[in-house]
């Protein structure tokens, strides 16, 4: 089972990925971009080439885990790479869209930014999260991926996540 959490900054992707990991003991692939950007000496500024490097390493981590784990939680994925390269630089990583179209997810949770903003040096779109959410929603539809919007209180979202996980388990 492969579960993806995607959406704009400070929308709960990491929060709910970690929650699901604790509830299920599925393997969590953390957002590699944070690890990479935290090593940059220039106040977290990044270029297109950095996003390409992040994409490459994230994909390597994903492929390694898919071969060895039956249940994977993704705190972000290729969707974020495609989204940010287009949003920030107006460019695409070659082959990324095709890879995304072929990628199979058992569940995709699109996190609505109804969480309070949490400041973080890596975040840059505090006042633009809703527009970005709708762009994510459109991208998922364009790629023909089914998804579930996570919205409401934290408890409501946690209940919805577990209902969906339990529903998937019975159909596998």
pLDDT at residue 62, as a whole number: 92
Q: pLDDT tens digits for 39-95?
A: 877 766 788 998 899 999 999 999 999 899 999 999 999 888 888 889 889 998 888
**Residue of 118 and 164 predicted with greater confidence:** 164
- Of the pLDDT bands very low, low, confident and very high (cuts 50, 70, 90), residue 137 is very high
Structural fold of domain 2-171: Rossmann fold (3.40.50)
pLDDT at residue 43, as a whole number: 60
Angle, CA 118 vertex, CA 82 and CA 110 arms, to 5° = 40
pLDDT at residue 170, as a whole number: 64
Strands of 2-6's sheet in order across: 27-29, 72-75, 2-6, 107-111, 148-150
Average model confidence (pLDDT) for the chain? 90
- CA-wise closest residue to 139 among 86, 93, 89, 68: 86
**Residue of 170 and 148 predicted with greater confidence:** 148
**Residue of 33 and 156 predicted with greater confidence:** 156
Q: Tell me the pTM.
A: 0.92
- Going from the C-alpha of 30 to that of each of 34, 127, 166, the distances in angstroms are 9, 25, 22
């Amino acid at each position: 089972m492969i579960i993806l959490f995607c959406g704009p900054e400070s929308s709960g992707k990491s929060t709910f990925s970690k929650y699901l990991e604790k509830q299920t003991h599925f393997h969590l692939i953390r957002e590699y971009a944070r690890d990479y950007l935290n090593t940059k000496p220039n106040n977290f500024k990044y270029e297109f080439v950095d996003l390409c490097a992040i994409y490459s390493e994230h994909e390597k981590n994903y492929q390694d885990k898919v071969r060895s784990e039956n249940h994977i939680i993704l705190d972000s994925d290729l969707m974020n790479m495609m989204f940010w390269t287009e949003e920030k630089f107006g460019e695409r990583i070659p082959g990324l869209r095709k890879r995304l179209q072929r990628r199979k997810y058992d569940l995709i949770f699109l996190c609505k930014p109804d969480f309070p903003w949490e400041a973080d040096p890596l975040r840059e779109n505090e006042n633009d999260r809703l527009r970005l959410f709708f762009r994510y929603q459109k991208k998922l539809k364009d790629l023909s991926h089914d998804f579930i919007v996570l919205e409401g209180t934290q408890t409501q979202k946690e209940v919805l996540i577990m209902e969906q996980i339990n529903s998937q388990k019975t159909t596998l």
